[in-house]
Amino acid sequence: MKTFIKLTLVLALGLSASSVLAFHDGGVAECAGCHTMHNSQDGALVDADHPNGNAYLLNNGTPSDTCLQCHANYGQHRQGSGFGPGGDFYWVTRTFSWTGHGSTVVSTGDSHGHNVISPAYGIAQDGVLSAAPGGDFLSARLGCTSCHDPHGNQNFRLLYGNDQGPNYSGSRYNFTADAPIAKGNSRTTYTTSGGETDLKHTVYKSGMSEWCANCHTDLHDNNTTNFVHPTRAMGSEIAGKYNAYVSSDNLTGGSAATSYLGLVPFEAVNADLATVSTTNYTTGPTGVDQVMCLSCHRAHASPFADSARWDMSETFLADSHPSVTDINFLQTDVDRKYYNYTLVQNQRSLCNKCHVKDYDDEAYGL
């Protein structure tokens, strides 16, 4: 209800219907969409929850609260019904537990992704990680505007580049890598217009891993001498496996023309983003295409630990959590955890899409 009232207010402040359809327009949107100069209009408070107003003269609490007054309902925080490539921040508010191998296992909300601090939408600072693993960006300063420029730019998804990093408690956090090169679909992710499928998904071209490493510097294999999973050209052998692999039931029946799995994306380095279709892209990789952070993670959040794209703690994905035997599950959580993707009963970890370690394995439940 609160969201509705605030949205109505934003509309009343002078955004016409058409300007709402294209709000940011690849640049800075109308200031009043996010700011209020006196927290007062027609003699009433603009943000009634904060009578003294907000830092940066925001019209709704924190930066993330301000974004979510519109974006929650587009699918960025919508009870897990946002099937966007980035993922639905609802999941960081959901904790599940169950008994596994004789002890209690907990999948905490905190671990499900980026805790973009938003009191109005139930998101507190991450309780475990005080800073970005592999870097020093403080969790206490994490919000939508740590990654997206609220004043817009021409980068993919308004992400910050290396010209100006995000606001960091009044100063700027330095980004060394530029914004990733990619092309996506609608920001409305709870409908088919922006929901991710095998056919319809972001086409990633380059730079995603370098970009994540702006904050997670040491987790990127180019920045460290540590052993970490590579994020670079796949090579023809692994690209060949990806193309042949359909599922744990069919390891070799696939073909390069149709092998793209939305759940296991890669960077198609030779894609021409000017002409590529993001609504019908099925082509698998060649050896030059890259495994990247988002081959395994979602940028926002997911139902699983470490913002993983699939449950990395179960042998069979059919046993993934949230499940109907978990404490605190909702049926909608269970139904939505794998978007509308169909997985075979015998499906083992999707690491196998590139590595085919499920060769010659037993079926589920045997």
Subset of 91-110 contacting ligand HEC (CB under 6 A):
110
Nearest residue (CB) to ligand HEC, 22 versus 366: 22
C-alpha distance from residue 146 to each of 75, 109, 155, 168, 207 (Å):
19, 20, 15, 8, 18
Considering only residues 16 through 35, tell me which ones interact with ligand HEC, judged by CB under 6 A.
20, 22-25, 28-29, 31, 33-35
Half-sphere exposure (CA, 13 Å, Cβ side) for 52? Answer: 1
Shortest Cβ 206–ligand HEC spacing (Å):
13
- Cβ closer to ligand HEC: 306 or 314? 306
Between 321 and 353, CB nearer to ligand HEC: 353
Stretch that binds ligand HEC, among 95-103, 124-132, 267-275, 333-341 (CB under 6 A): 124-132
The CB-of-145 to ligand HEC minimum distance in angstroms stands at: 3
- What is the end-to-end Cα distance of the chain in Å, rounded? 49
206 is a site residue for ligand HEC (CB under 6 A): no
Query: Residue from 13, 41, 56, 282 that binds ligand HEC (CB under 6 A)?
Result: 56
Nearest-approach distance from CB 139 to ligand HEC, in angstroms: 4
User: What are the C-alpha distances in Å from 289 to residues 73, 207, 296, 331?
Assistant: 34, 12, 15, 38
Number of chain positions touching ligand HEC (CB under 6 A): 89
Of the candidates 158, 181, 261, 334, which one interacts with ligand HEC according to CB under 6 A? 158
Compare residues 112 and 326 and give the one whose CB is closer to ligand HEC.
112
Q: Report the alpha-carbon angle 337-339-343, nearest 5.
A: 85
Which string of b and e fits 318-351 if b means at least 16 CB within 10 Å? bebbbbeebeebeeebbebbbbeeebbebbbbbb
- Rounded Cα–Cα distance for residues 89 and 93 (Å): 8
68 Cβ neighbours under 8 A, 6+ residues apart = 3, 76, 77, 89, 118, 120, 121, 144
Task: Looking at residues 279 to 338 of the shown chain, list those that interact with ligand HEC (rule: CB under 6 A).
Answer: 291, 293-297, 299-300, 306-307, 312
Minimum CB separation of residue 215 from ligand HEC in Å reads 3
Residue 167 binds ligand HEC, judged by CB under 6 A: yes
